[in-house]
Amino acid sequence: MPNLQKSPFEVTILAIESSCDDTSAAIFQNGRILSNVVASQAVHKLYGGVVPEVASRAHQENIVPTVDAAFQKAGVQKQDIDAIAFTLGPGLMGSLAVGVGFAKAFALSLNVPMIEVNHMHAHVLAHFAEDPKPPFPFLCLTVSGGHTQIVLVENALKMSILGETLDDAAGEAFDKTGKLLGLDYPAGPAIDRLATQGKVRFDFPEPQIPNLNFSFSGLKTSVLYFLKKEMAQNPYFISENLADICASVQDRIIRILIKKLKKAAKQTGIRHIAIAGGVSANTGLRKTLELTGQIEGWTTYVPRFEYCTDNAAMIAIAGYFKFLNREFAAHDVAPMARMAF
């Protein structure tokens, strides 16, 4: 059971993340991330998207070597662990089950408590892995392959969604338009790179969604029709204009995101604005956020690249806050593909 005599600064946590197609393990100690090892699954490129069964199998193969590497890198012994934090959901059931099952077995063998973590809370709390840390309350735009949310973060354990996507996530908008352009999955990083070499020349319509919600499925459809029309006249249209198409699609996605973020900041009066999730690795979004912040008088927070995409360091941070609050998981806890925020 947890050693409650220890100072909170001495707590050592092993964290496990396996919600989608990255197997990750991290060690957190004395308020710092000592290691954050990620094993990515390149195999999904062959299929143009994550295949759940394949992901689950790859997690099984990767989990033990990934955890071993996290211990080795951190220079920490298994006996030093005070608790094991793991992603409970949301995510792919078969992927989550590998991490949850591993965390249970390991926690039982070490006789330490387990801490269940909501993956989307963890993306937000990734900001506490390093300085500068945002002060509460702050707003966080969480943009990933499965989610697009504007989150009001009142404290580490109290957050609420002010707006979210009604259909595709921002990451899906990158990945699905990338697929139309013949780019490998996940296409976000490639579109980001190509966009830096291109010009914003093509205009894609802005979805008219009220309040702070988003919609990205119309963008994918308009890119599809645009490409069909252009390719009918010039079969080399994509290859001849790839960088400009990428710059234009990315620009539209960024403008949709920033517009709603500005609206949320105005509505709440909050001027500490953060971004998180895989799409927050996008250089165009990072730059636009910084520029918008200068104009609007915001203080902006952008995580280091390795803390943007899925990683166990963010699970460790979220787990630490719950550890301080003595929130531990029961041994019969089961993964949740969908999970209330």
* Residue 309's binding partner out of ligand KG4, Zn ion, none, with CB under 5 to 8 Å set by partner kind: ligand KG4
Quote the CA–CA distance of 304 and 307 in Å, as a whole number.
5
**What 8-state DSSP symbol labels residue 284?**
H
The residue among 50 and 249 lying less far from Zn ion, judged by its C-beta, is 50
* Residue 281's binding partner out of Zn ion, ligand KG4, none, with CB under 5 to 8 Å set by partner kind: ligand KG4
Residue 188: CB minimum distance to ligand KG4, A: 2
Residue 277: CB minimum distance to Zn ion, A: 6
The residue among 130 and 184 lying less far from ligand KG4, judged by its C-beta, is 184
Contact predicate 61/192, CB 8 Å? no
Peptide bond into 235 cis (omega under 30): no
Residue ranges that bind ligand KG4, judged by CB under 6 A: 20, 144-146, 171, 174-175, 186-189, 192, 277-279, 281-282, 309-310
Q: Nearest 5°: phi and psi at 42?
A: -65, -20
Cβ-count burial of 203 within 10 angstroms (0-12 exposed, 13-18 middle, 19+ buried)?
Answer: exposed
The residue among 82 and 286 lying less far from ligand KG4, judged by its C-beta, is 286
Nearest to 332 by CA among 29, 100, 132: 100
Contact predicate 134/272, CB 8 Å? yes
Take residue 312 and report the two structure tokens written for it: 């166990």
> Residue 330: left if φ>0, alpha if ψ -120 to 50, beta else—which one?
beta
* Residue 279's binding partner out of ligand KG4, Zn ion, none, with CB under 5 to 8 Å set by partner kind: ligand KG4
Contacts of 277 (CB under 8 A, 6+ apart): 123, 142, 143, 144, 147, 171, 308, 309
Contact predicate 252/206, CB 8 Å? yes
The residue among 265 and 275 lying less far from Zn ion, judged by its C-beta, is 275
Residue 325: CB minimum distance to ligand KG4, A: 25
Residue 68: CB minimum distance to ligand KG4, A: 23
How are the residues of the chain apportioned to helix, strand and coil, as percentages rounded to the nearest 5? Answer: 50, 20, 30
* Residue 186's binding partner out of Zn ion, ligand KG4, none, with CB under 5 to 8 Å set by partner kind: ligand KG4
The residue among 118 and 144 lying less far from Zn ion, judged by its C-beta, is 144
Residue 124: CB minimum distance to ligand KG4, A: 12
Residue ranges that bind Zn ion, judged by CB under 5 A: 144, 310
The residue among 281 and 315 lying less far from ligand KG4, judged by its C-beta, is 281
Residue 221: CB minimum distance to ligand KG4, A: 18
The residue among 101 and 189 lying less far from ligand KG4, judged by its C-beta, is 189
Residue 8: CB minimum distance to ligand KG4, A: 28
